[in-house]
Structure 1
Amino acid sequence: MAEKRLVVTFGEKSKLIVLDTNDIANTIEKIRLKFNIDGNCKLLAKCEGVSKFVDIDIDDEDDVYVLQHCSELLVSVEQKVTESESSVYDEESLDESLTADSEASISSPSAHSTPRAKHYKKDLVLDIDQLLNDNPKGESILEEYAANNTLTPQSRRNLVNIVTSGLVKTCRTPYYPLKHEKTSCALAIVERFPSLKNKYSKTGYEHFFSDKGRQSGYIQDRLKNLRRYIPESAKKRTSTANTSNELPAKQMELGGIVVEPLPDENATKLASFCKRAAPDLKKDIVKAMADIHGNFSKWILEEAPTAYEVLQEYPRFKDIDELVNQHFRIKFSSDISKQLLLKWESVIAPVIMKLAASTTTADVHHLYGECHVDVSEELNSEVLAMYSFLLLVLFLPSTPRNRGSQKQTMKLLIDFQPIGVVLEEYLLQKKNQTQPYLLCIGTKKAPSQFFIIVDSHAIPCQENIVSAIDKLFKLHYVFNIHYAQQLRMFYMFMDSVVYGIVPMNTDTLPNKIIELNAAIEATSTEA
């Protein structure tokens, strides 16, 4: 219970009342009894150092904070008025009357009736261009957007920092803007920079600010950082509720097409044939595996075997390349299955490289410089594809960013080993590694072979990075393996932006993925 002794004013009467400011409903009831108020009443609170009173909304957590820290509290009686009567109170005259009343520290029922309180909540108006022109970094943001029709993550961060600083200076409660003020700020950003809008959401600005559930978004994150530097006494306590959005532990839980299994006797015969048939019967093996897809998927879901056990029962996944793709295609459709091969080199990789060229973050700058160490060298599409996958890992970190951890995270996607490495010895060293990843024999610019390494097995891939990543991603679904936590954001990008398995309008997608997708779409539209 948060008890607070406060002088409460109703009309010309003032009383010292002990209030439980965590419970607005109880507070209102206690005030009604103290002043013998017949009917509903509303509260208007003002914090020390602020000239205006705030209409306390029982459902607004920011208003609750104002109530908990207010220095003056006024009470008004809710009265019914006609539309014509309420319309005479415009926002400007209301602000003046509230300011005058706060200086006198008294109120009357007629001076602070509910209609005035309702009209007080007006949208915040921010001049984005003016804020940017007044800031040294603003000009480069405007120039970059004019040239590219999008912003790099770093420029977007600068934009949010500048605009949020403007919000803090103009909001009613310092460092704690109300929801409608943050909403107005987010709306102003996407109206000024339309390509930053998330066209898959209802409003398009939720990644900048959303009040669904717990408040979130870039603006909210920036406000939290700014509050770290204000006095402890001025800080608002926050809930410790866990609101993290995790992917399903197993990828098959995301859905797809369910194929009816064959009778057990038929399925057992076909599985035995696939296991023992000679390699020259490849077409028959592929067909048989397609026929028992329903039985295979049912076994995977019900028995939850390890990757090692799957490869023991169905060893042809190791020597027939198209089996992983076939099972994925049956589950999700041909159209979904080919999305990475269609999009990566022609649409997504160029945008990632373009963003990397304008990014000064140390790890991104270092990797991009490694790719372009010789400016006269014309890079082929294979090299650009390789570096764009690695840069994507850096653009979408799932763990706190530091140089060492990012290098290790990239190795969880692709481990580079020199030509001549003995595969059997390598597998012995990695025998405790159960999470699938790519082994690339060769270098980033000159790869020779690719293998998927999982549970002491090496599954050969085609000799190009896009096909290898495609097979690695699909293996997670076919074998029902959860994503590595350090690569969670990378695979969520693949799920949503690339393959479209997870809809872009879902509330669980992180803001960085929404932002990167907006940049890709803006660049594609421009082209």
Structure 2
Amino acid sequence: MLVKVQYQGVKKFVKFPSDRTFQDFLNDVKSKFGLARTAALQVFDDTDTNVEEDIFHELIEGSPHLCLTVRCPEEDITVGLSDEFSPTRSSTPSTCTDTLSLSSTDHEETERAVQNQAAMVSNSFSIDAEKAKRTVRDALEKKSGGEEVLEEYQTTKTLKHSTRRQLVNIVVSHMTEIHGRIPTRKQRETYALGIISLFPSLKDPFSAKGYEHFYDPEKGTGFISWRLKTLSRKNPKRVRLEMTESAGPSRRRRIDDVQQLEGDACREAISFLVHTADEAEVMQKMKETFKHRQELVHNPERSADVLDVFPRFLDVKGLINQDFALLFNAETSNMLLKRWETAFKQKIINEAKTLTSTAEMRSLLNAAGGQGSENGRKKTKISPTEAVDRLVRFHKSCTSIEGLLSGREGHQPFLLGSGRIKGRIDHFYVAVDKRLIPCSGTSSLSAFDELFKVHYVFNLSYEESLVNFFTFLQTTVYNIDVGLSSESPRVRELHAKL
């Protein structure tokens, strides 16, 4: 499909195959008009209505001859200011914003005027939190089921998953009745702000505005957007949330306060590691070659060789914990073991009890409560039992372990518990590339701690179907790359509850 696009009066066609995403379209537009890759663009139709991700495909398929206009959020401010304060301004769209042409004598005075006017313009687009709060309360008081939402929050100071869904359904119904089937970005933001203003404990403390899990204006995601898509009876391919290059296991991190070997000394240490039987020496030499190992795992052509170059991961316990602590610090490394029992475990169990009750959910809750369970098992959305199976497998100690490893699909790391029965595990291992790294701890919690850390030590992406689960632990428990990682609305909702 060809989409006609206009930028600063220049019109061009942009190719847009049906399997491409809204973000792909924006990237193609930037390339076509020579804009910076980091430029933030907004799309408008011929009535100057903001076109957002959730209705983009439907709009261009229904109006193939439509000419879309793209602008930058900064453009309306900076271009207008340039016209007022500059005798001339460039019209070349080499970047997303125009610059001011100022004489040196008037520079300071003009800069202050620009800042003041920009501030006034910015304030004119701000949303009144108190007004937004009244809007949401009005919706709940008028709609069936709204009083139940208010009463539950009044009693518990939070909302169950099902009640939160009811809240979103009510406010979206109210929104579309007043503003039509495709409300604007500001209208969606108003309701999202109104929700966290009326229900403060639902605010996400880890996000910039606190309401991005209800509506994220930059990405067009959130519970409100999801509900609007459902109402439009559109079933687009779901966009998979991925870690950006600037966050998560793949992020390159500075290594400063660690004395490292280089050149021949590093090569000698690696050779020494293969032969020494002294575990204290192994720990020390592994520490001194940490930087070299990080270069190795971040090299796409050599990352798979790390266990061949450093085979002591396979027989010396504690090396995963040591590398992770060197990558971050001891405090971050101890986060899960330090905080799980006191800060998270019971709250997560209580949250799980509010979800739809199924046999497998009850089994997992029984196991979490210490009552045990003998039930332990390729799609993106998976059941709780399947999720557990992606994380940990049981190996009966009297049977062959090679068969279990060779028959395992996928390449992401997982835990292997070995023992006579599931209720009594003797040893835990992290399985990586069909090889076993012994866990230093004997509890399931400490073993899972090492499973999480392996992703960072070896630069391994999270299992696709468990991205949201691992991202939740990464940001909420370990406090790693908070604000840099892509998080689903459900993850952000849990931030607020926990």
With structure 1 as the length reference, what TM-score do the two structures score?
Answer: 0.64
Give the match for residue 170 of structure 1. Answer: 178
- CA RMSD across the alignment: 4.2
Q: Alpha-carbon deviation of 1:326?
A: 0.6
2:387 aligns with 409
In structure 2, the partner of 1:366 is: 359
> 2:496 is matched with which residue?
518
1:447, CA displacement in angstroms? 3.7
Change over 3 Å in CA distance of 1:191–1:433 after alignment to 2:
closer
Q: In the superposition, relative to structure 1, how do residues 455 and 508 fare at CA in structure 2: closer, same or farther (>3 Å)?
A: closer
Could you tell me which residue of structure 2 aligns to residue 222 of structure 1? 227
Q: Which residue of 1 aligns with 2:400?
A: 422
Distance 1:445 1:241, change over 3 A: closer
Number of the residue aligned with 2:204: 198
Higher-Rg member (1/2): 1
Say whether residues 1:142 and 2:120 are aligned partners: no
**Matching residue's letter, 2:415:** L
* One-letter amino acid matched to 2:490: K
- Identify the residue that residue 305 of structure 1 maps to in structure 2: 302
In 1: Cα distance, 2:262 partner to 2:8 partner = 63
Taking structure 1 as reference, are residues 353 and 193 closer, same or farther at Cα in structure 2, changes over 3 Å only? same
Letter in 1 for 2:273: C
Does residue 160 of the first structure (1) align with residue 168 of the second (2)? Answer: yes
- Note closer, same or farther for the CA distance 1:180–1:339 as it changes in structure 2 (3 Å cut): same
**Does 2:460 correspond to 1:455?**
no
* Structure 2 SS opposite 1:290: helix
Give the aligned residue type for 1:454: V
Q: Aligned partners of 1:435 and 1:149: how far apart in 2?
A: 39
Q: What count of residue pairs does the alignment treat as equivalent?
A: 391
Counterpart contact for 1:132–1:139, Cα < 8 Å: yes
Q: Distance in 1 between matches of 2:380 and 2:267?
A: 48
What is the CA–CA distance in structure 1 between the aligned matches of 2:381 and 2:494, rounded to whole Å? 18
Number of the residue aligned with 2:456: 477
Write the distance in 1 (CA, Å) between the matches of 2:246 and 2:404.
Answer: 28
- Structure 2 unaligned spans of 5+: 10-45, 64-123
Cα shift at 1:350: 1.3
Structure 1 Cα separation of the partners of residues 492 and 192 of structure 2? 15
- Is contact 1:250-1:482 (8 Å) kept? no
Look up the SS of the partner of 1:204 in the other structure: coil
Q: Is the 8 A contact 2:360 2:385 kept in 1?
A: no
CA 471–24 in structure 1, closer or farther in 2 if over 3 Å, else same: closer
Name 1:357's counterpart in structure 2: 353
The residue aligned with 2:193 is 187
Whether the 8 Å CA contact 2:413–2:432 is kept in 1: the answer is yes
Q: CA deviation at 1:189?
A: 0.5
| Number of the residue aligned with 2:116 | none
SS in 2 for 1:468: helix
Change (3 A) 1:126 1:446: farther
Q: Sequence identity, in percent?
A: 26
User: SS of the residue aligned with 2:431?
Assistant: strand
Aligned match for 2:338, one of 338, 342, 354: 342
Distance 1:138 1:327 in 2: 51
Farther off after superposition, 511-520 or 152-161:
152-161
Question: CA 1:355 to 1:144, structure 2 compared with 1: closer, same or farther past 3 Å?
Answer: farther
**Shift, 1:23, TM fit:** 6.4
CA separation in 1, counterparts of 2:140 and 2:390?
A: 40
Structure 1 Cα separation of the partners of residues 365 and 231 of structure 2: 37
Are the structure 2 counterparts of residues 326 and 379 from structure 1 closer, same or farther at C-alpha, using a change threshold of 3 Å? same
Matched position secondary structure for 1:451: strand
- TM-score of the superposition, structure 2-length normalised? 0.67
| Residue 258 (1) aligns with residue 255 (2) | yes
Pairwise CA distance, 1:277: 1.0
Contact 2:382–2:465 (8 Å) recurs in 1: no
In the aligned structure 2, how far is the partner of 1:367 from the partner of 1:130?
40
Which residue in 2 is equivalent to 1:489? 468
* Residue equivalent to 2:279: 282
Superposed displacement of residue 57, structure 1? 7.3
Change (3 A) 1:251 1:359: closer
In structure 1, what is the Cα distance between the partners aligned to 2:464 and 2:246? 10
- Residue from 214, 218, 222 that aligns with 1:208: 214
More off after superposition, 481-490 vs 351-360: 481-490
Match of 1:6 in 2: none
Structure 1: runs of 5 or more not aligned:
3-19, 27-55, 69-117, 230-234, 521-527
Asked if the contact 2:249–2:461 (Cα under 8 Å) also holds between the matched residues in 1, the reply is: no
Matches within 5 A, 1:3-402: 58=48, 60-61=50-51, 127-133=135-141, 137-171=145-179, 174-212=180-218, 214-228=219-233, 245-248=242-245, 253-259=250-256, 261-278=260-277, 281-302=278-299, 304-305=301-302, 307=304, 309-360=305-356, 362=357, 365-371=358-364, 379-380=369-370, 400-401=380-381
Secondary structure, in 3 states, of the residue corresponding to 1:253? coil
**Alpha-carbon distance change, 319 to 494 in structure 1, aligned in 2, over 3 angstroms:** same
User: Residues 291-345 of structure 1: CA distance to partner in whole angstroms, max 9, x if unpaired?
Assistant: 12122222332364355x3222222212221111111111111111111111222
For 2:221 and 2:410, how far apart are their aligned partners in 1?
Answer: 36
* Structure 1 position 468, deviation (Å): 0.8
8 Å Cα contact 1:137-1:158 kept in structure 2: yes
Counterparts of 1:331 and 1:180, CA distance in 2 = 41
Contact 1:251–1:480 (CA<8 Å) still a contact in 2? no
Amino acid at match of 1:271: I
Letter in 2 for 1:320: V
CA displacement 1:117-138 (0-9 Å, x = unmatched) = x99x997775444544555544
- Change in 2 beyond 3 A, CA 1:149/1:383: farther
| Structure 2 SS opposite 1:466 | helix
Residue in 2 aligned with 1:468?
Answer: 447
Q: CA deviation at 1:143?
A: 4.1
Secondary structure at 2:250 match in 1: helix
Per-residue deviation, residues 506-526 of structure 1 (Å, max 9, x unmatched): 373222211111110xxxxxx
Residue type of the alignment partner of 1:340: L
Asked if the contact 2:418–2:425 (Cα under 8 Å) also holds between the matched residues in 1, the reply is yes
Give distance in 2, aligned partners of 1:508 and 1:301. Answer: 21
Q: Are 1:508 and 2:498 an aligned pair?
A: no
Write the deviation string for residues 413-448 of structure 1: whole angstroms up to 9, x where unpaired: 112344533323433434x65321011235665444
Partner Cα separation in structure 2 for residue 383 and residue 177 of structure 1? 49
